[in-house]
Structure 1
């Protein structure tokens, strides 16, 4: 998550006497938001009694009992998950609580996304509950999320290394957060470097495919072939390699059409890459013109058809593609 979208409860003030709605399909962000609210509850009252439950099978009377106070604590925090499964009686009790919140209760409601329960969500919003949306991050925000995760753990990494990790691990935020945690523990001086990411995640197919494409498009034939042979030996699916190459060629074609227009952020958004990637692409583009790019498109399309069954030897088809594309770049 880019730091500009990092969720905080700082502006919530005291969580007591409020109903907090956490809504959206991004589970990691939802869970963190709930924990932030509970942390604020404990900071204000270390003796707070915390109760967690699911809306599934929970009735309105059950909620009333949970929010009626405790004999053992002056204040309570109640978390109700799976709000999409709320019954009619529970929905009515929640709306009543939103209309007349108890000053000693922090009520946190979690809706994991989707249209189910939308009517209740709309009514809660009209009641002006504190609303924290947790929507999936856009691809261009993932590098910022990785950088933020590193800072949370007292580590740091450069944007290209963050992108390398995203390429290796994928877009699942829990997986990315876990990967950063692992790397931060092994970064001797707190700096997560490219070689450390490679050591931990070099078996990931996405990294291999894009490494091959970057080397070939830069005219580094020997490196591209070495990466290709290593990828095939470790079981990378051929279609992932042609897909990465197609993405690289398509990106150069788009970049060639926007040269001199807009700032880097706008250009990167149009092409669908992070801004830091433009430097590498511009260096590659110095070797390419429209004629060569058109030729590369045909070479990649032929190889893609071959690895999907048009040819008997996928490895040979890939090697031919890499050689010919790299030679085009090297001229």
Structure 2
């Protein structure tokens, strides 16, 4: 990599602190930390891509001949980092990726702590740490060096997963309507890697705007039998549809625990929106997406406060039963679904 580009890349990241996996750039040290493996992979790929291809918007010029060195922290022996970061014969640019730092050896903690005090400005070392306290002294030293830290924590909120799906389609240069995003999140939203794979498949196998009809064509069997669809039908007071979806979900291998969790999540959203009436709180303050608030408002037209309380109590009992408190988890979740549907019809 030409010297000006390498200098520019380092100066862009020199402030350290929090960095986003989508925009992180090479620096002498980069810490990628968190349990969401897909985001960690994306962060490493982004650093390598900028180092090799540059970034026109940031004025960075890449080096296609960049050397990449991979190390495993769990099997690391003393001195390996010094060898990996030492100048090559022709002084080529180098990126060293160290994976599995959450299970690193004591030798790696010692060597990386020392290296963080004076990292080589001509080399990028990316440390990938899957979370936990292992190597805390080393992590503190990396942060103290001013290295950018990329947080790769699980995406738990539906609104954030929807934003992730939308950004995936933008990066794939495909248009998708909001309803299709909702269908994907509701059907596949617990697994970020699966969501990303679905976006990639839809983008490569279809043309035009991606709609709910397209999503249903590819993932309908999966989407319609999820706990979210069961919960939606129950909250709408449609006992027959809710039970049919529930039995299909169970028949295809769904576990009662997440099915009850989906019911609980649905009722919490209804309770939050019911409580916000006249309170001036918005979707962000409630931890919900705008479409979830709009949907809850429509569904609440068939609910009374007493009905909502009865449904919440029934789901709380089902939660205890499916986690070992009852003899028949399948019966417990079906009873809860029927109770919610009947409470919605009051």
- Label 1:123 to 1:206 Cα distance change in 2 as closer, same or farther (>3 A): farther
Q: 120, 145, 148: which one pairs with 1:127?
A: 145
Q: C-alpha displacement at 1:292, in angstroms?
A: 2.9
- Tell me the TM-score normalized by structure 2: 0.75
- Label 1:86 to 1:199 Cα distance change in 2 as closer, same or farther (>3 A): same
**In the alignment, which residue of structure 1 is the partner of 2:291?**
276
- Label 1:60 to 1:303 Cα distance change in 2 as closer, same or farther (>3 A): closer
C-alpha distance in 1 between matches for 2:317 and 2:119: 65
**In the alignment, which residue of structure 2 is the partner of 1:291?**
306
Q: 127, 145, 148: which one pairs with 2:164?
A: 145
Residues 238 and 314, structure 1, Cα contact 8 Å, conserved in 2: no
- Label 1:33 to 1:289 Cα distance change in 2 as closer, same or farther (>3 A): same
SS of equivalent residue, structure 1 residue 202: helix
- Label 1:131 to 1:238 Cα distance change in 2 as closer, same or farther (>3 A): closer
- Label 1:318 to 1:89 Cα distance change in 2 as closer, same or farther (>3 A): closer
SS of equivalent residue, structure 2 residue 95: strand
Structure 1: segments with no counterpart, 5+ residues: none
C-alpha distance in 2 between matches for 1:36 and 1:54: 20
Which segment is superposed worse, 130-139 or 27-36? 130-139
Which segment is superposed worse, 65-74 or 174-183? 65-74
SS of equivalent residue, structure 2 residue 79: helix
**In the alignment, which residue of structure 2 is the partner of 1:59?**
77
Q: C-alpha displacement at 1:172, in angstroms?
A: 2.5
Q: List per-residue Cα deviations over 1:140-191 (Å, max 9, x = no partner).
A: 41111111112121223334432332232242221221121112223321x2
- Label 1:47 to 1:275 Cα distance change in 2 as closer, same or farther (>3 A): same
- Label 1:181 to 1:6 Cα distance change in 2 as closer, same or farther (>3 A): farther
**In the alignment, which residue of structure 2 is the partner of 1:34?**
44
C-alpha distance in 2 between matches for 1:264 and 1:67: 51
Query: What's the RMSD between the two structures over aligned residues?
Result: 3.6
Q: How many matched pairs?
A: 318
Q: C-alpha displacement at 1:113, in angstroms?
A: 1.3
- Tell me the TM-score normalized by structure 1: 0.78
Q: List per-residue Cα deviations over 1:306-328 (Å, max 9, x = no partner).
A: 9986789949x948954x75565
Q: Is 2:202 the counterpart of 1:183?
A: yes
Q: C-alpha displacement at 1:195, in angstroms?
A: 2.9
Q: How does 1:1-331 map to 2 (within 5 A)?
A: 6-9=20-23, 12=25, 15=26, 18-43=28-53, 44-72=62-90, 74-139=92-157, 140-189=159-208, 191-204=209-222, 207-220=225-238, 223-224=241-242, 227=245, 230-231=248-249, 234=252, 236=254, 243-266=261-284, 268-269=286-287, 273-297=288-312, 314=331, 318=334, 322=338, 326=341, 329-330=344-345
C-alpha distance in 2 between matches for 1:26 and 1:42: 25
C-alpha distance in 1 between matches for 2:327 and 2:106: 58
Q: List per-residue Cα deviations over 1:232-253 (Å, max 9, x = no partner).
A: 6656556665554444344323
